[in-house]
Structure formats: C-alpha cells, structure tokens
Amino acid sequence: MSQPFTLYRSDSLGRASNCMYPHAVEVTDSASLAAAVSFDYVAVEYKNGYRNNANFIKSNCLMLDCDNDHSEDPAAWITPQVLADSLLDQRDPKCWPTPFWMSPSPFTTAGATAR
C-alpha cells in the first residue's frame, strides 16, 4: 500500500455491546489489514481505547460504507470515483493526500472524471 493507515481493533468479533478498541494496527499491506479486520475494528483512536464521541483523539483515514441499497441499478450506485468527484467539488484538492486505493489521485484535476 502506498499510504499506510491505522485501524484500532477489539479483542472480539461480532459482539454488538463492545466499546473497547485498544489495539492499534498500522495497515501497510494485505497481511496487516487481514490482522486488523479479523476482529471488530474502528478507524479512530479513542482515549483508553473506549469508543465514545467524547473520547475521540484522532484518525488518519476516512472509512466509508456505501451500501447502495437505494437502487438496483448499478449506474445509480455510489462508487469510489463518484465519491471522490463529490469531494473534489467541496474541498481544495491540494489538501488531500492520494488515497492508497486510487491511482492517479481523484483529488486532482488530472484524476477527476466527469459524471
């Protein structure tokens, strides 16, 4: 991966009542990603590892979930490129790093595509 990021994992999997994410995993490749997501995980560091808005410390990545359950038509789905183009409309592209999963960066004029 060209841009590492950090996920914070719990000691459990699928336990809805869990609020503890004490283990930082720097994701640099598929093996470290697999290690992080084999447990419940978040993309935020929390004070004492306890998930709570008041305990937010930082995050170095943006984690999104596009369910696309609003349509059965793939042409209407939100794709990574559609999302990137939307962000391009909202932010100065010089402020955005190149995401590890896109090349060239969609946050530059050269990488943006028309919808």
Task: Give per-residue pLDDT as tens, 23-81.
Answer: 999 999 999 999 999 999 999 999 999 999 999 999 998 887 778 888 899 898 888 88
Specify the DSSP class assigned to residue 61.
S
In whole angstroms, what is the distance from residue 91 CA to residue 108 CA?
A: 11
pLDDT at 109 over 50: no
Do 42 and 14 belong to one domain? yes
- Contacts for 107 with CB less than 8 Å, ≥ 6 apart: 84, 87, 88, 91, 93, 96, 98, 99
Query: Residue 105: its pLDDT value, please?
Result: 38
pTM for the whole thing?
Answer: 0.63
Where does a domain end: 39, 58, 77? 58
Domain that holds residue 74: 64-115
Clarify whether residues 50 and 10 are in a common domain: yes
d(CA 88, CA 60): 19
Among the three residues 43, 58, 73, which one is the final residue of a domain in this structure? 58
Give dist(CA 7, CA 73) in Å, integer. Answer: 32
